Amino acid sequence: MSITLADITASIESLWPIAGQEDWDASGLVTGSLTAPVTKVLFAVDVTDDVITEALEWGAELIVAHHPLLLRGVTTISEDRYKGDIVARLIRGGCSLISVHTNGDRVETGTSATLARELSMTITGPIVSHELGGGIGVVGTVSSQRLGDFARLIADVIPNTASGVRVAGDFASTVTTVALCAGAGDSLLGHPAVRAADVYVTSDLRHHPTSEFREQARLDNGTALIDISHWAAEWLWLDVAAEQLREVRPDVEIRVSDISTDPWTFQVVQ
């Protein structure tokens, strides 16, 4: 008996319940027939043209993406718009699409927890708890080390990207307590757990929120900031997620895309 998309969605729901997503999120099935057979599943952070090409050339009938394609509302899926083009390619290629976003973040093996464990963090809890358990981001401790050395460790753990690892803080300052949010975490800059840490690791930090945070930190406990690639921060989770799905669906072939979907392609150093 063939495995259907409905079977896979049920397995995904058991691992990353949709009820765990944030109110603003749009996880779940984006396109595809629940009766369609599935033999191959490709995991990726983002759904891009290159990722779809990889999936279709491999013969995948399903892409499980971390980021939702239709997170922000659209008024057209005309094929001269990239989202319309992606949806059309998926449908014509017989490939379904499911997003596992913040429902994948909040579990104990989610994006932030995965990165934290790669950094040898001892996790003590989430930054923001969820009523179903787990939560967004993690807080914890690492062995005492210099901020610059901790930043170097992060650079060694995550994939290389054009933006690299940016740090706001004193290279020689001591790090033992860490707050970490693998995705775009500027909304948590004001959280007490973040302000209490020696360093906050996240991605997509902008100038003004970063500047204001560091100026306030000068008057508080001097919390440093480390800004990394959004894609790189979350890509590590794909291997964990793929292995979890393999355990419940050993009859389906699963692999992780190695394609970088980080939008930045190079950096000119002054």
Per domain, the residue ranges of the chain are: 5-103, 106-232
Cα–Cα distance between 108 and 125 in angstroms, integer?
Answer: 9
Q: Per residue in 26-57, pLDDT tens?
A: 999 999 999 999 999 999 999 999 999 999 99
Q: Which residues contact 85 (CB under 8 A, 6 or more apart)?
A: 49, 79
Q: Which of 263, 260, 246 is nearest to 51 (CA)?
A: 260
Residue 270 pLDDT:
83
Q: Write down the mean pLDDT value for the chain.
A: 95
Q: Which distant-in-sequence residues (6+ apart) come within 8 Å of 125 by Cβ?
A: 135, 138, 139, 140
Give the model's pLDDT for residue 1. Answer: 66
Pick the CATH number of 106-232 from 3.40.50.300, 1.10.167.10, 3.40.1390.30, 3.30.930.10: 3.40.1390.30
Contact 246, 224 (CB under 8 A): no
Confidence of residue 77 (pLDDT cuts 50, 70, 90): confident
CATH 3.40.1390.30 fits 5-103, yes or no: yes
To the nearest whole percent, how much of the chain has pLDDT over 70? 100
Q: What is the pTM of this model?
A: 0.94
* C-alpha span between 58 and 94 (Å, rounded): 12
Check if 5-103 and 106-232 are the same fold. yes
| Measured distance CA(246)–CA(195) in Å, rounded | 38
CB 51 within 8 A of CB 95: no
Residue 7's pLDDT is what?
97
Reply yes or no on whether the pLDDT at 20 is more than 70.
yes
Question: Is it the case that residue 15 has pLDDT exceeding 70?
Answer: yes
Average pLDDT over residues 65-84: 90
How much is the average pLDDT of 127-142?
90
